[in-house]
Structure 1
Amino acid sequence: MVSPAQVVPDFVQLAAHPVRWRLLSELATGDYRVRELVELIGQPQNLLSYHLRLLRGGKLVSARRSSADARDTYYHLDLERCAQALTDAGAALHPALHPGPTPPPRHPGPAPTVLFTCTGNSARSPIAEALLRRHADHVEVTSAGSHPRPQLHPHAVQALNEGYGIDLTGQRPRSLATMTDRHFDYVISLCDKVREVCPDFGDHTRRIHWSIPDPAASKAAQKDAHRAFVHTAAEIDARVRHLLPVLTP
């Protein structure tokens, strides 16, 4: 009879399979469509779809329809849930393996440069810009849109002010066309549509995609627009915090 202490944690069972570990590793860098995962991992689509279904069942991976093409689905790794699952697995093995406080990141050398993009540069990308600047003042960060709106969405401004104490009063959306002559270490798209039209910033720029729906166009916004923006800001904040170790090795 297996004692409770001998039961293998669900996360370990899920992550131990080599194909699922590859999927987790690729999705840890950004959101991908299944055909892109097929190319990255070199396994047939039906096999990857099977393992993605298991990871979704374990609530480690979620799926969202692309706002650029509803026939496409983006897969996203929940890094917050993975971090908690790893913590729980360590503690299940031995209490001493429960992690202590995370040391502050070191950031020698020149400041990394980051560009966040979305379509209107009125909500998602300026939220990401402001939150990254709040968490890492050594990073040079900006944001822009392929079709910038006349002004920031008022609910985006309110969500950042109330939830994070960030004042975006006076900031105006920027055009992606004005950024093409600048160098960025990271270009992070938060919108499925802008990912398809984002210009090439050169071989030394790392492209990352976060498939985040437009809070102004979501079903949740029809019931409570402010709450939809608060939820989006919280998701972006979680992603930004997990981005920090990548920017500050």
Structure 2
Amino acid sequence: MKVCFVSTRGKVRAAMAKSIFTKLAKMLLLNVEVYSAGIEPEKNLPENVIKVLTEKGYPVEGIHPVGCESLPYDRIDILITLSPEARDRCPYYINHKRREHWVLEEVKDQSDLAKLRSIRDNIERLVKEFLKISHT
């Protein structure tokens, strides 16, 4: 199964979702390839995104913003968009078995750790709901 998270720039929401989903799916022994992308990808993952992910033990290796053209986009099984721009601009493919849009506020100030933690925790909640993991 291939899951892809797409946001506008791919450096906060999509990167966090990939990291969180990867760890939780692994804990459930799921055989999943997880991707993240941005509609208008930026070059680097902000240091504070790395910081808030590692605070909860989420992996950051191999997570960096890329465009959808860098992915096997037409072979994605589940596409989850995380911004209105991604929802509106990601093309539909018949191979996509499921498509969802999660409403997540954009974090414009990556120095705001409280806001980044809030987004991380919200994504974590959404991933747990998606994977049917009880909240504890």
Among the aligned pairs, what percent are the same residue? 26
| Pair 1:160 & 2:21 matched | no
Secondary structure, aligned partner of 2:132? helix
Distance 1:197 1:172 in 2: 20
Secondary structure, aligned partner of 2:119? helix
* Aligned ranges 1:27-66 → 2 under 5 Å: none
Secondary structure, aligned partner of 2:114? helix
Q: Is the 8 A contact 2:2 2:78 kept in 1?
A: yes
Q: Is the 8 A contact 2:23 2:59 kept in 1?
A: no
RMSD value over aligned CA atoms?
A: 2.1
C-alpha deviation, 1:203, in angstroms: 5.2
1:113 equivalent in structure 2: 2
1:129 equivalent in structure 2: 18
Q: 1:179 aligns with which of 63, 67, 71?
A: 71
TM-score w.r.t. structure 1 length? 0.48
Q: Which runs of 5+ in 2 are unaligned?
A: none
Q: Which runs of 5+ in 1 are unaligned?
A: 1-111
Distance 1:124 1:152 in 2: 11
C-alpha deviation, 1:216, in angstroms: 2.4
Q: 1:230 aligns with which of 117, 128, 132?
A: 117
Q: Is the 8 A contact 1:119 1:191 kept in 2?
A: yes
C-alpha deviation, 1:210, in angstroms: 0.4
| Pair 1:202 & 2:91 matched | no
Runs of 4+ in 1 over 3 A off after TM superposition: none
TM-score w.r.t. structure 2 length? 0.84
Count of residue pairs brought into register by the alignment: 129
Q: Which structure is higher in RCO with an 8 Å CA cutoff and minimum separation 6?
A: 2
C-alpha deviation, 1:155, in angstroms: 1.7
Alpha-carbon spacing, 1:201–1:160, altered in 2? closer, same or farther (3 Å) = same
Which amino acid letter does the alignment assign opposite residue 47 of structure 2? P
Distance 2:22 2:36 in 1: 11
Distance 1:167 1:151 in 2: 16
Which one has the bigger helix percentage? 1
* Aligned ranges 1:1-40 → 2 under 5 Å: none
Alpha-carbon spacing, 1:199–1:179, altered in 2? closer, same or farther (3 Å) = farther
| Pair 1:147 & 2:70 matched | no
Q: Is the 8 A contact 1:120 1:147 kept in 2?
A: yes
* Aligned ranges 1:79-118 → 2 under 5 Å: 112-118=1-7
1:44-92, CA deviations, whole angstroms, 9 ceiling, x for partnerless residues?
xxxxxxxxxxxxxxxxxxxxxxxxxxxxxxxxxxxxxxxxxxxxxxxxx
